Homo-oligomer: A and B are copies of this chain.
Amino acid sequence: MAAAENKRAVVLLSGGLDSAVLLAQLRSEGWETLALSCDYGQRHRRELVSAQALAAHYGLVHETADLRALAHLLGSSLTTAGVPVPHGHYTAENMKSTVVPNRNMILAAVAAGWAISQKASAVAYAAHSGDHTIYPDCREEFAQALDNALRLCDWSEVRLLRPFTGKSKAELVTLGTRLGVPFQLTWSCYEGGDRHCGECGTCVERIEAFQLAGVADPTAYA
């Protein structure tokens, strides 16, 4: 089967809002979707529960790539206990502490390995225009270089799908509403509690996205 005809994709499903909309968007385009979450030792483990709930909602095959054994090589405030998560709006300085070095490439490489074994032709992730350029691996030129490498990693091409690069998070809320995404199942907060804290950088962005979209926010904040 030619790559163009194979519409089976591995979707990187974090449990967050963005990747839930990605899943719905690809399905609306006729893609068969497999879901892959990553456990890199994030303190906000609640998002993995959300990923599972989203996969169950859509009836998907769902696997988790357990990368916790790599924590001693990588590590950031997202994975290391005792390093505080920045509050309020992100700034260049407080975001640096949330960088997991080369995380996107590691996730894409593992997802592509699973895609090859599942005869899928694509790996999809929910990069969008609000992604912070403090993360070097959120840059467009990096994503293009990664796509080029993935197209050569197997005899069949594995494409990197990033349909949201031109969209804001608020636009994803609008799109997801139209596609019936169960936003109440998604998780954004980095604090690690049982409810969204409403104060950390990702909570602030989530709240603003619903406000800008003019959509009722179903999230129960602490």
Q: A residues near B, CB below 8 A? A: 36, 63, 65-70, 72-75, 100-103, 105-106, 108-110, 112-114, 116-117, 136-137, 139, 141-142, 145-146, 148-155
Q: Is the interface of A mostly helix, strand, loop or mixed?
A: helix
Tell me the complex Cα distance, A117–B70, Å. 12
Known: A72-B63, A152-B136. A113 touches B142 (CB 8 A): no
A142 touches B136 (CB 8 A): no
Stoichiometry, as copies per complex, reads 2
Which B residue sits closest to A74, measured CB to CB?
B113
Tell me the complex Cα distance, A113–B102, Å. 5
For A151, what are the chain B residues with a Cβ–Cβ distance below 8 Å? 145
Partner of A73, one of B63, B108, B148: B63
A136 touches B153 (CB 8 A): yes
Tell me the complex Cα distance, A137–B74, Å. 24
For A148, what are the chain B residues with a Cβ–Cβ distance below 8 Å? 145, 148-149
Tell me the complex Cα distance, A74–B118, Å. 9
Tell me the complex Cα distance, A109–B100, Å. 12
Which B residue sits closest to A155, measured CB to CB?
B136
Tell me the complex Cα distance, A100–B116, Å. 10
Partner of A106, one of B66, B73, B110, B137: B110
